[in-house]
Amino acid sequence: MQREVITNERIGESYVRIMHDSGLEILIWKMPDFSLKHAIFGTRYGSVNTTFKTKDDADFVTVPEGIAHYLEHKLFENEDTDVFDLYAKTGAIGNAYTSFDKTCYLFSCTDNFGDTLRILLDFVQKPYFTEETVAKEQGIIGQEIKMYEDNPDWRLFFGMLSGIYHKNPVRINIAGTVESIAQITPELLYRCYYSFYNLHNMCLAIAGDVDEDEIISICDELLKKSEDKELVSVVPEEPDEVAVKYAEQTFEVANPMFSYGFKSRPVDDSEFSRVCALSDITISLLADETSPLYKKMYDMGLINLEFATETFAGCGFFVPCFSGESKDPSKVREMIDEEIERRKKTGFEADRFENIKKSYYGSLIRHLGNADSLATILVNSSLGHTGNAFSSIDAVADITLDDVMDFLNERFDINNSSMYVIKPRASADSGEES
């Protein structure tokens, strides 16, 4: 077992990184005198990881969309008990989530941390799938998929992604489709489990007033030593240009909704934290609530308080985007494009850049006082290969206005962007969805 303390001199904080003999990376951020303890057991496996191979496979295999999310659901059912019943006995609150590039199982507690950690490590390492239970889950997740289809925000987001990407699985609902999950079998679930839930592909992140020796003892007891499968997961190669520049549909909404994204090259692990920070700062300079563009669009009645900016990035995808409600989404797009081109020529004001940078830096520091935020930062740094948990803080501290201008020029191509609009059904020209 290898142990090291990772310290950031800039902010005077540190955490422990342990490479356990089982192959698992364990990250522990000690928070003396904090009552809440938070643990996350995660794997580098999300909805985009549909094509993969291990050293035991002759070639790549492609599995149905939604299988990572399906697997997350099924792990909570052991042969003889329900995991949530076990959590209830220790007083812990448990949960899980599947994103585009990771699956995480987590709990929060104030007492009985050791017993709850045993529950977490035990059930995630004990898959149990049968024809009967898999068939039962298909109906449950099918209802979940239909629920998402009735959510206009969800439709808007994936509509935009379908306009950006031709082939990348990120354009598909994380839960898959009713048709894709119908193809899932116990055999496929076991194959995906043993490929992606290998401890060499996983991380245990813990934050709170915890005892490191107790954690190691429990891990020694419960972790099943595994062989590195040399897992490789790939996403389809993408053309540089967007798939569709504009698309729309009608839905039961009160006001027209839009999502507008810019297709940008995926980011290598080594530069992920820095480029994401650059994107967040750049789109804030362009259109946050303190910007001239925001004020102008708001005063014109083109946007309301629903207007938002986001950097959507992960394994094989990177999209700076704008979203909200507007009576004229095309005019909003036109004004955003004009501001981008104007700023490429004039630049941004130095004082606004410094203010936004300081605000962004401060928000990162504030997360350090929260156990669940810290555990999330730890697991994201591991599963995302971003270096360490301080990468974003260091990246923001070192960003200059010249860096922002380079980013704006390189990654905001108004001719390689896509807008998706949802119009109120009653006021649309046609009652049919596109």
Interhelix angle for 350-366 vs 401-411, to 10°? 90
Please list, residue by residue across 50-73, b when 16 or more beta carbons sit within 10 angstroms of its beta carbon and e when fewer do: bebbbeeeeeeeebbbbbbbbbbe
User: Does residue 72 carry a catalytic annotation?
Assistant: yes
Contact of 168 with 234, CB cutoff 8 Å = no
In whole angstroms, what is the distance from residue 284 CA to residue 348 CA? 11
Task: Give the H/E segment covering residue 67.
Answer: helix 67-75
**Type of residue found at 259:** S
DSSP one-letter code for 232: E
Contact of 323 with 310, CB cutoff 8 Å = yes
In whole angstroms, what is the distance from residue 71 CA to residue 80 CA? 18
Say how many C-beta atoms besides its own lie within 10 A of residue 263's C-beta: 22
Q: What DSSP letter does each residue of 297-359 carry, written as one string?
A: HHHTTS--TT-EEEEEEETTEEEEEEEEE-S-HHHHHHHHHHHHHHHHHH---HHHHHHHHHH
Strand, coil or helix: what is 373?
helix
Interhelix angle for 212-222 vs 113-124, to 10°? 30
**Type of residue found at 302:** L
Contact of 168 with 344, CB cutoff 8 Å = no
Which of 25, 65, 72, 137 does the annotation list as catalytic? 72
Residues designated catalytic: 72
